[in-house]
Structure 1
């Protein structure tokens, strides 16, 4: 059944599957056709949103596990509702304590079988991955670092120790790892893994690799085959290396199930024609609908105040195009300096090899 209207449910430990199931009769009475569920795969404990996935093979225990999800689906069916699931192909939580794939990579380095999972520029880090987790420069935080068996502890954070390094003095131990602990501010300029926008707590996943795709989608595909789910909402496809190729592979794997993407279209931008999806999640439509409730004169006045505020001193927002260019330049040279550096290295490599 193709969705005609969805109602989004933000699942979290305080609102698990059982709570959603109790709300089904009320939601069905609203006239929607499907419930749109936030991500349900295993996430960082206590996560209020679920986008920080740590294990794609299991439905999140804090929400009630797979049994709870299947019970919710059954209750929804009884009231004529289907389920659309939000999935996160672009990234996982950069929390090695809970993300065992990342734990293995940090322990074994580039030779780990799980290294292919993550978008890490090992060469840029001297075969080490920067983890920007320290509250201050390393020298100031050494007193909070300690080896405990085969684990390195920093406050409530845990990191694996490379085999044979646990007995080394702390400075040598730190130098011997496949990762480098750094001040959180270093993420802006020295980070060598792909993240979600500027969120260093989320690490990019190489879902373009067929093996990684299969492993990260097996449970979702099983739930689709079993009729637990009816459709998918793809989070942040623009973060993927090859969105069109990913959506083609997904479409084939799901047998053409109804799928939409979280794609924000600006101005005259259109959804790429080669994306195998039913459309967007509706930001573009919402933009137009919201416009019906906007007073044009009030909007113009607010825009004038904003431009005056955002423009450089003395300009009063007169040359707005220049202000936009300056803002964009600042973003790519400051907030996204590490990403800009990575793209520069990649471009130079492609130029050299061609």
Structure 2
């Protein structure tokens, strides 16, 4: 047998494999989603997300300090809002003295160099649990934009570096961009949840925030998992409206969408390795079915290979610890 090409020659030792490795994940690629709640000295583990906690601000500052020491310096906080502060217009979302703006300001005061990407959507604050204003069972698009813009402005005033509209209302990127600009926040970026699918993998996140819809589902605004070309339309619109980053959520079932956006856009692409994906790895590892650390590393690498520049992941702290262990 005369084989002139033997790809295995480039796999025969660890040193050679490392030399020809095409993709790498570092702590610089990661954004760590975190959950903040009211009170003092609170640390409540999320049952469906082992190792992930809802922290009060004081305890979250300690958690952020530990992450910064590991090299993780970008965070995506989400607020746990008490039921008695929720209403159908999500008015708590633009209360400048509320939990979330106060938390953002406290983090930036203590850690001025960290990056905070903040979520803009009504569901954590809505008594209906939806991402928009509900009127007779219909989600009102244009009326919701006003609330999203006021929410984004309060987050920017508090110190947010990147605004993350996750609501999937039409036109929200342009509306928020214009609102931020006219109020003097031209330098606050927007990472649009460009292709956010109506997925079955969000369950643990909704447990964390107690933000599940009180009725119906989110299929009239989140995307159909069957559709790929539609993501390109959303990406084109978000780009024209002024987005600085495009995000795909969830991550693992939508690697093809990440690749499609990478091939068709010059903007940075983010992938959200969501709660259900994290929970699956943790559950399988807890049962001894997989090696949890190796699976975590492989999952994160898959996002880079698909074309993601940025990965939002609940594995961020654990992966940083893993990198230190193997270095």
**Rg larger for:** 1
Q: Is the TM value for this pair above 0.5?
A: no
Say which structure, 1 or 2, has more relative contact order (CA 8 Å, 6+ apart): 2
TM-score, normalised via structure 1 length: 0.38
